[in-house]
Amino acid sequence: MNLVPGTLEEVAVNRCFGGWHRRYRHRSATLHCDMVFAVYLPPQAASGTVPALYWLSGLTCNDENFMHKAGAMRVAAALGMAIVAPDTSPRGAAVPGDPEGAWDFGHGAGFYVNATRAPWAEHYRMHDYVVYELPALIEANLPIDARRGISGHSMGGHGALVCALRNPGRYRSLSALAPISHALASPWGQKAFARYLGEDRAAWKAWDACELIAGASERLPLLVDQGGADGFLLEQLQPETLRQACAAAGHPLKLRLQAGYDHSYFFIASFIDDHLHHHAAALLT
């Protein structure tokens, strides 16, 4: 049975570092399906509202990967900052997936864009879901206020960059770990954009971080960590292209190439504390 839009059904709850990890299901009016997301509420949320870091996960992931593997809740609890982890795509029997059953498109691979081509356009509108619908739902129902930061990993790093760059004033802080920096030139991005957006590459530029940085009206300081032993580094992620785009536009960027680290959650867990503190500097002042 589908839920009524705007209502939350709690599906799991766990005590953690004095706060609470909670999973909710709701009906999305944007995606036309039921969605699940996770929230970590720090102890400070028991006595007032707190800011939130929105974390966007990568290909094949859902809300559980980051919450279970990143080890972020201890520092989030100490800082007094919530973490919100959406799913990575619409889900359900009515939502089309990859026609060939591939892992890098469709379910688990929404790419945080608003699709314009059938059959994807009806459901695959993850940008509007993450930027507008989900924060409105959370801020109306949970002790979380409109102080928002955004971060993510891989496809989710791409999503974090694009969501912030397309929506000046919506977020106070921005970071990414191993983001798909230049989706126009990434095989993952090219596959997704061709299907979600069509073959006109001019339309893809509105969803590419390096293209958006050139004309951005807001210059949020950007922290990016990248594993030096990441097998996707050169073909899919292209951090040097991001460095070049930021340098040309005068966009503040701290890009750290971490020797020996790969693309996994071992890498994320190693540097997530730095990212939480980066966001706290903007969200808690």
| β 222-227/173-177 pair status | parallel
SS (H, E, C) the chain: CCCCCCCCEEEEEEEECCEEEEEEEEEECCCCEEEEEEEEECHHHHCCCEEEEEEECCCCCCHHHHHHHCCCHHHHHHHCCEEEECCCCCCCCCCCCCCCCCCCCECCECCCCECCCCCCCCCCEHHHHHHHHHHHHHHHHCCEEEEEEEEEECHHHHHHHHHHHHCCCCCCEEEEECCCCCHHHCHHHHHHHHHHHCCCHHHHHHHCHHHHHHCCCCCCCEEEEEECCCCCHHHHHCHHHHHHHHHHHCCCEEEEEECCCCCCHHHHHHHHHHHHHHHHHHHCC
Contact 175, 158 (CB under 8 A): no
Q: Which residues are identified as catalytic?
A: 154, 230, 263
Contact 167, 146 (CB under 8 A): no
What length is written for the chain? 285
- Backbone torsions φ then ψ of 234, nearest 5 degrees: -80, -45
What does the block give as tokens for 196? 């979600």
